[in-house]
Chains A and B, each alone.
Chain A
Amino acid sequence: MSSPVTVWRHHKNIRNYLRKKGKILVWTKVFNAPAGFEHEAPYFVAIVKFEDGTKMPLQLVECEEKDLKPNRKIITVVRKRGKVSLDEVIEYGIKAKPI
């Protein structure tokens, strides 16, 4: 669980990564998820390379395994991150979906 101030600080950075385009370099399917991600398993994570040359590990959403290949194009999207209880702050983060 992240503290409210950590979530607030993190959310301020989201705009810098909105609608960035890039491609998948490598991907994996995570079956054994860490705490906070159990409800999403199995899920896909990739290292993506953006058009500006920067690279980042991102969770992939709205995709199927057959769609995932090296050089597959992606675009970043904002999605809820992890699972919180009713009295915790919902955290959003950048993920990527194939296009």
Chain B
Amino acid sequence: MKIKVKGIGLTKFGELWNKNLLDLALEASLEAINDARITNNDIDAVYVGNMLIGKIAGQDHLGPVITSSLGLNCASFRIEGACASGGLAVHLAIQGILAGTYKNVLVVGAEKMTDAPSSQITWALMGASSSQERKAGLTFPALYALLAQAHIQKYKTTREELAQVSVKNHFHASLNNKAQYPFEISVEKVLNSSAISYPITLFDSSPISDGAGAVVLSSDTDSKGVYITGSAASSDTIDLAQRESLTELKATKLAAKSALAQAGMEISDIKVAEVHDCFTIAEILAMEDLGFCQKGMGGKFVTSRCTRLGGRCPVNTSGGLKACGHPVGATGVKQIIEITEQLRKTSGKRQVRNANCGLTQNVGGTGATVVVHVLQT
């Protein structure tokens, strides 16, 4: 499989009060189309990754909202897969190209979250959980807190090790002018921040964000550039209690195995990765389930600085969801953009040396949906 990332466009992430969802989606889309050196009319289909706009602003039928604003009459789709909506949109766009139906597709991931009060966002996000979880009074921080507790119980992972994920990702974000929180924090700051759901604190958690990312994907393979060579999506039970294990995301393992096999790569070939650190425990689980380290060693692996810029395989050079921000529908697309920039060697101060192969992992819910992509030059 060889799908070219022909163009990329990304807005700043954060509390962008002067822009609505369409402003953000169009800004990213036009930048991506311009970067691809094509015109709007060269786009054969538009895939939009978005989770929340129908619930918090009443706007469904999002595909034509984007195409009509671009002056297009092509096919358009809104893809919803919770926080993996963006990654799923990329995955489905690739299937459209591989099927031979489309040559150039625009994938837009966009979310506008800060217009709504946090209680409404918390309620809306819980649409990605099971009804029993909602009845039990669980929230997403609480669900990931249960995963953290299971990891702590079984592998003696410490809260300090969890905090190291946040410290590293804030350092990376400090080098990224598109990040919502471009500043460094300390382990103590994470540990002493407000309790959200024990052992998860405020600074263990990704923020509520606005933002959009867009990529133009193409069947064009006759030139140099960055290519997606593996794309896989997997699923698991929506209810965390029904999982075989609380210390792994099975869907991550399955999607990674498939995507790497498609690319003909091993995890040891990956030089840079963007993974779904919605909460610090999520990045530790990702390190283990993707195979970067042994099961149970994720906390120590992160603490060893292997995944920090300058380490063996830097992870979340954008700042991740934690510090770059997490406009949920945009996140999976932003991950593709960050890896594309790394492989193009245009990442400036956060450039990973010798980056020629990267991976993204985008999670919906607590791992009920996982999408993994492999990118190469």
Interface residue B136 (Cβ < 8 Å from any Cβ of A): yes
Interface of B is mostly: helix
Given the known A-B contacts A25-B246, A26-B150, A34-B119, are A57 and B138 also in contact in the complex, defined by CB atoms under 8 Å?
yes
- B303 contacts the other chain (Cβ, under 8 Å)? no
Is A8 part of the binding interface, using a Cβ–Cβ cutoff of 8 Å? Answer: no
Docked complex Cα distance between A47 and B132 (Å): 11
The answer, yes or no, to whether A89 is at the interface (CB within 8 Å) is no
Top 5 A-B pairs ranked by shortest CB distance?
A: A28-B145, A55-B241, A29-B198, A26-B149, A57-B136
Report 10 cross-chain contacts, Cβ distance below 8 Å, ordered by A residue: A28-B149, A31-B197, A32-B197, A33-B139, A35-B119, A37-B137, A45-B142, A45-B146, A47-B246, A57-B136
Choose among A55, A59, A70 the residue that contacts B137 (Cβ–Cβ < 8 A): A59
Alpha-carbon gap, A93 to B133, bound state (A):
12
Query: Per-residue CB proximity of B226-249 to A under 8 Å, as 1/0?
Result: 000000000000011110001000
* Chain A residues whose C-beta falls within 8 Å of the C-beta of B198 in the assembled complex: 28-29, 31
Bound CA span A11–B353, Å: 60
Do the beta carbons of B139 and A56 come within 8 Å of each other? no
Give every chain B residue within 8 A of A37 (Cβ-Cβ). 137
Contact of B149 among A27, A33, A40, A81 (CB under 8 A): A27
Q: Does A58 contact B (CB under 8 A)?
A: yes
List the interface of chain B (C-beta within 8 A of A): 119-120, 122-123, 126, 132-139, 141-142, 145-146, 149-150, 153, 194-200, 239-242, 246
B152 — nearest CB in chain A belongs to which residue? Answer: A26
**Separation in Å of the A28 CB from the closest CB of chain B?**
4
- A27 vs B197: C-alpha distance in the bound complex, in angstroms? 10
The CA of A37 and the CA of B126, in the complex, are separated in Å by 14
B241, B242, B246, most chain A CB atoms within 10 A: B241
Residue from A27, A29, A57, A81 in contact with B241 in the complex, judged by beta carbons closer than 8 Å = A57
A33 close to B137 (CB less than 8 A): yes
Check B197–A47 contact: CB distance below 8 A: no
Given the interface pairs A26-B150, A27-B149, A28-B145, the reply to whether A57 lies near B196 with Cβ below 8 Å is no
- Tell me how many residues of A have a C-beta within 8 Å of chain B: 24
| A34-B122 Cα distance, complex, nearest whole Å | 6
* A28–B142 touching, CB < 8 Å: yes
A30 and B149 contacting across the interface, CB-CB below 8 Å? no
Closest to B205 in A: A32
Chain A 80-98, CB-CB to B under 8 Å as 1, else 0, gives 0100000000000100000
Rounded to whole Å, the gap between the CB of B133 and the closest CB of chain A is 5
Residue numbers in A under 8 Å from B146 (CB-CB) = 26-28, 45, 47, 57
Nearest CB of chain A from residue B342's CB, rounded to whole Å = 35
Partner of A34, one of B126, B149, B240: B126
Please judge, given known A-B contacts A31-B195, A35-B119, A45-B142, whether A56 and B137 are in contact too, CB under 8 Å. no
Bound form: Cα–Cα A26–B243 in Å: 13
Q: Contacts A47-B240, A47-B241, A57-B240: A30 and B142 contacting too (C-beta < 8 A)?
A: yes
CA distance A34 to B138 in the complex (A): 8
Contact of B123 with A55 in the complex, beta carbons under 8 Å: no
* B138 contact from A25, A35, A45, A55, Cβ within 8 A: A45
